[in-house]
């Protein structure tokens, strides 16, 4: 809680304008407090009015390298305050392929940019392509996936992209039980997530936790030889009616077993 209070205080005392959701500060504390007082590189997209840059520098400490990215060239003015600023289009993969090598190692990345699904998806996919160290990649204001004025993505919203990405994490275990999983899998997509250890969903924020050291290959192991016992998992009911967790529909669905 102290870290969150310090962050909120840093935001309030920022010399430049910033707008945030109240619940975000708790998520920021959860995701980024391990970097406080340490040498680190923190990147944020969508920084034109500058308030969050000062907040991060105050909260993380003087050792932190704070980098801002924006499409508006006016954001360059924050270089006079000691921040690194890059101007470019986050929705263009070529921009990221040019700028990320210039930045080098990234420890935390926060997307507060254009909030359109294609921009968020391009940003995440390119950062995941580049980063190979322990890093938190967070996208905020993900509720735009449901907003009427951000609906050109149709069914292919950022939140659907993020939820489908969790399937790719599970897909990394498809080899542990041969012949029990689908044969036709998208191995390329699964490989693209091989350094993602965890995907966390919060109110308005999704975070991808990149950590190659923790992404070990899944194996089935046993601590000792087991006696043969009857498996009762199929002896009970073989279906259930559940309330489906839909944000738009009140619906109950019957889920069947084998």
Contact 146, 192 (CB under 8 A): no
Categorize the per-residue pLDDT at 154 as very low, low, confident or very high, splitting at 50, 70 and 90: very high
DSSP letter for 235, please: S
Residue 139's CATH number: 3.40.50.150
DSSP letter for 48, please: T
Helix axes 2-12, 51-60, angle to 10 degrees: 140
In a domain, 248, yes or no: no
Q: Which helix (H) or strand (E) holds 239?
A: strand 239-243
Query: Residue 1: which residues within 8 A CB-CB, separation 6 or more?
Result: none
In a domain, 129, yes or no: yes
Give the mean pLDDT of the chain.
96
Categorize the per-residue pLDDT at 52 as very low, low, confident or very high, splitting at 50, 70 and 90: very high
In a domain, 245, yes or no: no
In a domain, 220, yes or no: no
Categorize the per-residue pLDDT at 228 as very low, low, confident or very high, splitting at 50, 70 and 90: confident
Which residue segment(s) compose the domain that 6 sits in?
2-214
In a domain, 251, yes or no: no
In a domain, 60, yes or no: yes
In a domain, 231, yes or no: no
Above 90 in pLDDT, residue 233? no
- The string of pLDDT tens digits covering residues 73-123 is 999 999 999 999 999 999 999 999 999 999 999 999 999 999 999 999 999
Quote the CA–CA distance of 130 and 126 in Å, as a whole number.
6
In a domain, 228, yes or no: no
């Amino acid at each position: 809680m102290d870290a969150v209070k310090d962050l909120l205080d840093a935001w309030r005392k920022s010399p430049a304008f910033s707008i945030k959701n109240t619940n975000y500060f708790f998520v920021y504390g959860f995701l980024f407090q391990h970097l406080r007082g340490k040498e680190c590189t923190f990147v944020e997209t969508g920084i034109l009015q500058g308030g969050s840059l000062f907040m991060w520098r105050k909260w993380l400490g003087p050792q932190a390298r704070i980098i801002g990215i924006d499409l508006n060239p006016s954001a360059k003015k924050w270089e006079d305050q000691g921040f690194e600023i890059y101007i470019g289009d986050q929705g263009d993969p070529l921009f990221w392929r040019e700028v990320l090598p210039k930045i080098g190692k990234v420890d935390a990345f926060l997307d507060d940019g254009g909030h359109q699904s294609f921009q968020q998806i391009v940003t995440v996919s390119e950062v995941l392509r580049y980063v190979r160290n322990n890093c938190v990649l967070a996208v905020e204001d993900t509720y735009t996936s449901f907003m009427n004025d951000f609906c050109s993505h149709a069914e292919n919203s950022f939140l659907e992209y993020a939820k489908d990405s969790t399937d790719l994490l599970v897909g990394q275990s498809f080899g542990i039980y041969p012949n029990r999983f689908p044969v036709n899998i998208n191995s390329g997509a699964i490989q693209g997530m091989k350094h993602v250890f965890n995907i966390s969903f919060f109110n308005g924020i999704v975070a991808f936790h990149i950590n190659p050291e923790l992404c070990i290959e899944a194996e089935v192991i046993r601590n000792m030889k087991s006696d043969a016992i009857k498996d009762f998992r199929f002896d009970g009911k073989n279906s259930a009616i559940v309330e489906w967790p839909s944000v738009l529909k009140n619906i109950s669905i019957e889920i069947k077993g084998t």
